[in-house]
Structure formats: structure tokens, C-alpha cells
């Protein structure tokens, strides 16, 4: 007997944001901005020129940094609050406007304070070395060092302010145009059975790539490509302009490679990133192995770009919210009681918004918020096993942020490559628990989801990284690229991850055009591959090392962003420049594929 979806939905599970503010009209919001601006003016008159003139002692600088930290802590609260309200109800235009106004206020505050980091970056090496040696600055060493890695690339304050302000009508305007074009574009979807044409948003048409019926997926691909075709000229122009803009800025700031500035903010060496990207390319064989089995299970002659995300089966099993809570807490408990007890607070104190509601933003996320408040999670929980996995993933982020609250604001958030350290780990722990109790068909579906998810983060993002690299390099050496050029590079790089197992048709040539990361945050994508592989490899170490690993791991989570990725990993005995370590991540992935192959044999009986 089938049970209606609504019985499993997390109806009524809403978050409590009162640790931030009580409503958009909360008078504390305006008061906080006024106070921040008064304090910022005071801060500027106290400290402007002081680092330049080398007038601050280590303890005076520590005091200044402590004050400076308060701005970032208090300034982000209204912005975070507004963005959380908006995510919970995107259809409310008042909340959109509220978010916009809070972001603008934050920006005004930032411009007032910009001088401080510029002076910190510009200060003489000897002076800073003396300051850093003093224990008064112990808590701020990492912040000072990472801020100063930008020193060789920082311009004068006048130039920096000029670049900041003109960016609003320069690169940011082009980014916004791309966003507006793609998010408002209407795609025509022609129903393969009735022939009725409906107009769909990008999200809706892309979602049809996961439909079990092949004709539906093909019709979605037709509509998607046709829609992108209408935007192509403009997007090609936008991307060319942004490639040129980056070329210009990299020249002014003296960055050697297009991806150098991203490595700097990720606190990673080029050689480490290159090693991981190279290994991703070398290990495309696991992708082919998986898709060969998938083709067989789908009963198709050949897989194309319309079959990549086709579901194997609908997984039957559903879990209520209470059951999901139990599964996640038990999984966490089996690894670390401290993590489980942190996770239980999210449920007990209403730090999760899981209820399905119209207008609520799609997807799921964890917002870390600030060390003096608490993280919150958002998802739409309908009861499928994939929803349980999403809860586990976001709870991993949540517990990481929860434990990092020991840190002060500058040391609170980790860098991007470390961001998935707890989420993917939590997912693996929970995955193993769920599959252990699932029937064969559900097991196959769960493995397929897990493996495809890993391919999407590891191999696909690595292919995208190479796409970006080649586009930036070609723009620098040969001038503007044509739609044809972009299509060639895209097709080559994405095809390479599949080998012969999936054939990407010509229709796929334009599908780079909707990837926001290329436009908004160049070279963001590799952090996904990096983070996933890192965690898979660490997970294997955790399993072989047993309980002695747990304390070290929890300690790393508590350190938040107070150390570089390399420093954090060395606590776990991991060397990020070691090839063997990264191969461990692929071994874990390969083990999943091998098990999937075995389950398939069992299924065929
Ligand atoms: Zn995540």
C-alpha cells in the first residue's frame, strides 16, 4: 500500500532565528548599523596611518584587530538574517528588498574600513615579522599571514577603492546580466506525448533530465538547447568581456596564472591543485565502469547526454522526520558522541527549517552564522532516502560550524577546500548505515546516487576547471573566443570524463552557458573536487585507524579556519602534497563502484 508523501514531509519543522533578530522591523537592526558606523569612524581616526608609520606595538595591534573583528561579526548579522528570511520565502519581494538594503549597508561599512587591511598588507616585512613573533598576536597570526599573502598583489588605497567602486558598473554588472538572463529565461518544453508546449524556468527544465522516461529527457534537452541558443550571442559576449576583465586585473595585480588568485584565497599551492586535477583526469576509468553498468540497468544501447542523470529506480523506502533524526543521530553517535550531541541540539532548539513550503528556496544549505550565535540548516524534507542523506550532509556542515564557535570571528569560517570536511564525512557515515538496512533495489539506487554525486563533484568539476583554464588562456593568447571555440573546448573536456561510456551529442555544446560559477567566481569549481576527494580519503583513514582518529578529527573541526588547510591536515597525519593520499580518495570511490557492480550481478541473479 502506498502512503501519501505528505505523511513523511517535515511539516511544521521551522527554524528559530531569534538569536539574530526578531523580524525585519526589529529596532536592533538599525541600532546596530548606527553603532557600527560610529565605531568605524572612531576606528579610522584611531588607526589610519598607524601601520604605515609602524606606530603600533603587537599588543596595540591585537586590540585593533579585536575591534576590527567586531565589525565583521556585527556587520554580517543583519545580512545573514536577511538572506535567511529570503531563502525561506523567496516569493516575498519585501524580503528581497530587505536583503538588498542590508547588503548595501554592509558594503558602505566595508569601504570605510578598507584602509586597515590595505595598510596591513602594505606594512614593511621586518616590522610585521617582529609583531608576529609576539604572543600578544597569537590568535591573529593566521589572519595576518593570509591577509598579507595578498600584499604583492595589492594596490594603493585610492586604486583599490576605485577598482571596488567601478566594479559595480564593470564585471559585477556583466555578472548580474548573466544572472538575470539565465534565471528569467523561459524554455519551451514540448511534451513528447501530447505535443503541448509549456514554458519552463531553467530549474524546471534541467530537473527533467532526471525523469525516468527517456522521451521526456530528450524533449527537455531539446528545449534547453534551443533556449540557450537564444541567449548564446549575449552570453558569449559576457564571458569574453569577463575573460578580458580578469586578464586586465591579473596584469595590474601581477598574478602569474589565471587561477593564481583563487589558489591564494583557498590557501593552496598551485602544485597541490595541479596534482589533484591531474589525478582526476587519470582516474576517469571509474566513471566509464559505472556508466557501463548503468547502461545495462537502463536497458539502453548507448548512453548520451540525456541519460547521464536518468534514475535507475525510484527508491521505495520513506522515512518520517523523526526517523531521519534518529538515523542521523545514531550514525553520528557511532563515530563521535561529541558530534552526535552537537547535532541533537539542532533538533532540540529548532535550528532546522525542513518543512516543504511554496516560495522556499530549492536545495539545501547550512548557514554558519557567527561564533556568538549558532548555525542553522535549510532543506525541504519529503521523506525520501535522498532527503535523509541531505540532512546528514547539512548536519555535517552544521556540526563543523557548531564546534568552530570556539574560534573568534576571523578564525571561524574555513577556506573553501576545507568546507566539505564534515559534510561528506557525515554523509558517508550515514550512507553506510542506510544501505545496511535497505533492500537490493534500494541499495542499487542509493549507490547510484552516491556514485553519481561523487562524479559530479570530482570529475565533472575537474573537467570544468580545465574548461575555464583553457578559455582564460586562449583569451590571453588569441583574443576573443567564438561560440564555436567555447563549444569545442567544453565538449572535449566534459567528454573526456566519460570516455566511450556516454556520448555527448552536439546539443550539449552550449551547456557551459548556464554555469554561473564560470561567470561569478572563476576557478571556484576545483574546490569541490578537492574537498570531496580529501574527505573520501580521510574517511578511509578514519576507518582503518579507529577510535584514536576521532579526537584528532574533532579537534580539526574545532579549529575552524584558524589554520591553513595544510596545517589542519597535518594534525590528522595527512600531507596534502602526497600523491598516495589523494589516491586513497579514488580507492574509496572505486570501492563504491566495485560494490555497485557486485550488487548489479546479484540483481541480475
Ligand atoms: Zn556541502
CA of 416 to the centre of ligand 1 (A): 10
C-alpha cell at 183: 534565471
C-alpha cell at 4: 501519501
Task: Kindly tell me if the per-residue pLDDT of 182 is higher than 80.
Answer: yes
Give the separation between CA 260 and CA 184, rounded to whole angstroms.
33
Task: Kindly tell me if the per-residue pLDDT of 341 is higher than 80.
Answer: yes
CA of 420 to the centre of ligand 1 (A): 5
CA of 32 to the centre of ligand 1 (A): 31
- Once rounded to an integer, what is the mean pLDDT over residues 546-575? 94
Q: How far is CA 50 from CA 63, 123, 158, 465, 521, in A?
A: 13, 10, 17, 42, 34
Task: Kindly tell me if the per-residue pLDDT of 254 is higher than 80.
Answer: yes
Give the separation between CA 107 and CA 99, rounded to whole angstroms.
12
Lowest mean pLDDT among 179-193, 222-236, 370-384: 179-193
Instruction: Tell me the residue length of the chain.
Output: 605
- Once rounded to an integer, what is the mean pLDDT over residues 61-74? 95
Q: For 288-340, write each residue's pLDDT tens digit.
A: 999 999 999 999 999 999 999 999 877 678 899 999 999 999 999 999 999 99
Q: For 194-211, write each residue's pLDDT tens digit.
A: 999 999 988 889 889 989
pLDDT at position 285 is 95
- Once rounded to an integer, what is the mean pLDDT over residues 407-427? 93
pLDDT at position 591 is 96
pLDDT at position 403 is 98
Give the separation between CA 578 and CA 525, rounded to whole angstroms.
21
**Among 426, 425, 440, 434, CA closest to 327:** 434
With bands split at pLDDT 50, 70 and 90, how would you rate the model's confidence at 1? Answer: very low
pLDDT at position 5 is 53
How crowded is residue 440: how many other Cβ atoms within 10 Å of its Cβ? 12
- Once rounded to an integer, what is the mean pLDDT over residues 123-144? 96
CA of 21 to the centre of ligand 1 (A): 26
**Among 38, 41, 39, 20, CA closest to 29:** 20
pLDDT at position 315 is 63
H or E element at residue 309: none
Which of residues 225 and 604 earns the better pLDDT score? 225
HEC per residue, 427-456? HHHHHHHHHHHCCHHHHHHHHHHHHHHHHH
C-alpha cell at 284: 576517469
CA of 45 to the centre of ligand 1 (A): 41
What are the phi and psi torsion angles at 218 (to 5°)? -65, -40
Helix (H, G, I), strand (E, B) or coil at 26: coil
What are the phi and psi torsion angles at 357 (to 5°)? -145, 140
Task: Kindly tell me if the per-residue pLDDT of 362 is higher than 90.
Answer: no
CA of 138 to the centre of ligand 1 (A): 30
CA of 535 to the centre of ligand 1 (A): 12
pLDDT at position 258 is 97
Geometric angle at alpha carbon 582, from 470 and 523, rounded to 5°: 30
CA of 338 to the centre of ligand 1 (A): 21
CA of 126 to the centre of ligand 1 (A): 40
With bands split at pLDDT 50, 70 and 90, how would you rate the model's confidence at 157? Answer: confident
How crowded is residue 269: how many other Cβ atoms within 10 Å of its Cβ? 14
pLDDT at position 16 is 97
CA of 425 to the centre of ligand 1 (A): 10
Give the separation between CA 248 and CA 181, rounded to whole angstroms.
25
pTM here is 0.89
pLDDT at position 176 is 82
CA of 8 to the centre of ligand 1 (A): 24
Q: Considering the chain, what is the average pLDDT of its residues?
A: 93
CA of 443 to the centre of ligand 1 (A): 23
pLDDT at position 3 is 45
CA of 129 to the centre of ligand 1 (A): 37
Q: For the residues of 339-394, what is the DSSP string, one character each? A: HHHHHHHHHHTT-EE----TTPPSS-EEE---TTS--EEE----SBHHHHHHHHHH
HEC per residue, 76-142? HHHHHHHHHHHHHCCCCHHHHHHHHHHHHHHHHHHHHHHHHHHHHHHCCHHHHHHHHHCHHHHHHHH
CA of 393 to the centre of ligand 1 (A): 6
CA of 532 to the centre of ligand 1 (A): 9
What are the phi and psi torsion angles at 187 (to 5°)? -105, 135
CA of 318 to the centre of ligand 1 (A): 23
Task: Kindly tell me if the per-residue pLDDT of 468 is higher than 70.
Answer: yes
Q: For the residues of 245-296, what is the DSSP string, one character each? A: HHHHHHHHTT-SSTTHHHHHHHT--HHHHHHHHHHHHHTTHHHHHHHHHHHH
CA of 538 to the centre of ligand 1 (A): 16
- Once rounded to an integer, what is the mean pLDDT over residues 462-482? 97
pLDDT at position 536 is 94
pLDDT at position 6 is 56
**Among 548, 535, 292, CA closest to 429:** 535
Residue with cell 576545507: 418
- Once rounded to an integer, what is the mean pLDDT over residues 157-186? 85
| 3-state percent helix, strand, coil for the chain, nearest multiple of 5 | 70, 5, 25
CA of 445 to the centre of ligand 1 (A): 21
- Once rounded to an integer, what is the mean pLDDT over residues 529-551? 92
CA of 13 to the centre of ligand 1 (A): 21
Geometric angle at alpha carbon 359, from 357 and 365, rounded to 5°: 80
pLDDT at position 2 is 40
CA of 562 to the centre of ligand 1 (A): 20
With bands split at pLDDT 50, 70 and 90, how would you rate the model's confidence at 594? Answer: very high
Which of residues 597 and 438 earns the better pLDDT score? 597
**Among 531, 31, 491, CA closest to 268:** 531
Task: Kindly tell me if the per-residue pLDDT of 556 is higher than 90.
Answer: yes
With bands split at pLDDT 50, 70 and 90, how would you rate the model's confidence at 563? Answer: very high
Amino acid at each position: 500500500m502506498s502512503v501519501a508523501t505528505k505523511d513523511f514531509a517535515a511539516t511544521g519543522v521551522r527554524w528559530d532565528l531569534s538569536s539574530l533578530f526578531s523580524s525585519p522591523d526589529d529596532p536592533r537592526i538599525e541600532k546596530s548599523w548606527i553603532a557600527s558606523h560610529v565605531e568605524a569612524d572612531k576606528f579610522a581616526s584611531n588607526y589610519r596611518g598607524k601601520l604605515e608609520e609602524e606606530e603600533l606595538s603587537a599588543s596595540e595591534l591585537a586590540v585593533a584587530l579585536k575591534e576590527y573583528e567586531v565589525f565583521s561579526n556585527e556587520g554580517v548579522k543583519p545580512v545573514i538574517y536577511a538572506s535567511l528570511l529570503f531563502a525561506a520565502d523567496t516569493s516575498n519581494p519585501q524580503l528581497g528588498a530587505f536583503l538588498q538594503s542590508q547588503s548595501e549597508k554592509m558594503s558602505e561599512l566595508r569601504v570605510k574600513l578598507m584602509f586597515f587591511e590595505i595598510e596591513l598588507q602594505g606594512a614593511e616585512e621586518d616590522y610585521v615579522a617582529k609583531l608576529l613573533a609576539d604572543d600578544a598576536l597569537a590568535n591573529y597570526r593566521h589572519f595576518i599571514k593570509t591577509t598579507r599573502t595578498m600584499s604583492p598583489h595589492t594596490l594603493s588605497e585610492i586604486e583599490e577603492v576605485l577598482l571596488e567602486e567601478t566594479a559595480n558598473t564593470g564585471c559585477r554588472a556583466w555578472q548580474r546580466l548573466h544572472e538575470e538572463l539565465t534565471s528569467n529565461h523561459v524554455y519551451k518544453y514540448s511534451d513528447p506525448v501530447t505535443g503541448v508546449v509549456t514554458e519552463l524556468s531553467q530549474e524546471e527544465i534541467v530537473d527533467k533530465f532526471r525523469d525516468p522516461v527517456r522521451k521526456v529527457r530528450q524533449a527537455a534537452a531539446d528545449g534547453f538547447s534551443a533556449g540557450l541558443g537564444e541567449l548564446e550571442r549575449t552570453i558569449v559576449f559576457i564571458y569574453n568581456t569577463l575573460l578580458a576583465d580578469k586578464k586586465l586585473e591579473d596584469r595590474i595585480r601581477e598574478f602569474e596564472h589565471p587561477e593564481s588568485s583563487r589558489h591564494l584565497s583557498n590557501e593552496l599551492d598551485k602544485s597541490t591543485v595541479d596534482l589533484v586535477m591531474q589525478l582526476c583526469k587519470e582516474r576517469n576509468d571509474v566513471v566509464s565502469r559505472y556508466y557501463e553498468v548503468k547502461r545495462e540497468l537502463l536497458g539502453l544501447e548507448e548512453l548520451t547526454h540525456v541519460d547521464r542523470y536518468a534514475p535507475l529506480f525510484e527508491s521505495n523506502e520513506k522515512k518520517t522526520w523523526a526517523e531521519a533524526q534518529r538515523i542521523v543521530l545514531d550514525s553520528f553517535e557511532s563515530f563521535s558522541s561529541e558530534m552526535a550531541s552537537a547535532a541533537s541540539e539542532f533538533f532540540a532548539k529548532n535550528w532546522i527549517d525542513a518543512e516543504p513550503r511554496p516560495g522556499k528556496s530549492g536545495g539545501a544549505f547550512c548557514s554558519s552564522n557567527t561564533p556568538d550565535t549558532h548555525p542553522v540548516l535549510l532543506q525541504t524534507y519529503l521523506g525520501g532516502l535522498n532527503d535523509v542523506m541531505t540532512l546528514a550532509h547539512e548536519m555535517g556542515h552544521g556540526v563543523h560550524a557548531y564546534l568552530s564557535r570556539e574560534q573568534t570571528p576571523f578564525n571561524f569560517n574555513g577556506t573553501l577546500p576545507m568546507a566539505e570536511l564534515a559534510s561528506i564525512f557525515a554523509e558517508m557515515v550515514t550512507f553506510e548505515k542506510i544501505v545496511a538496512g535497505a533492500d537490493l533495489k534500494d541499495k542499487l539506487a542509493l549507490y547510484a546516487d552516491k556514485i553519481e554525486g561523487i562524479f559530479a563533484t570530482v570529475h565533472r568539476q575537474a573537467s570544468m576547471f580545465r574548461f575555464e583554464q583553457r578559455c582564460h588562456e586562449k583569451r590571453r593568447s588569441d583574443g576573443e573566443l567564438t561560440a564555436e571555440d567555447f563549444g569545442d573546448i567544453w565538449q572535449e573536456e566534459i567528454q573526456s570524463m566519460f570516455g566511450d561510456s556516454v556520448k555527448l551529442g552536439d546539443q550539449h555544446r552550449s551547456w557551459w552557458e548556464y554555469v554561473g560559477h564560470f561567470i561569478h567566481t572563476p576557478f571556484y569549481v576545483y574546490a569541490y573536487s578537492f574537498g570531496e576527494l580529501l574527505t573520501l580519503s580521510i574517511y578511509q583513514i578514519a576507518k582503518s585507524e579507529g577510535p584514536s582518529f576521532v579526537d584528532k578529527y574533532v579537534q580539526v573541526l574545532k579549529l575552524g579556519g584558524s589554520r591553513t588547510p595544510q596545517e589542519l591536515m597535518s594534525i590528522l597525519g595527512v600531507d596534502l602534497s602526497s600523491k598516495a593520499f589523494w589516491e586513497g580518495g579514488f580507492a574509496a570511490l572505486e570501492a563504491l563502484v566495485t560494490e555497485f557492480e557486485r550488487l548489479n550481478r546479484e540483481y541480475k541473479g
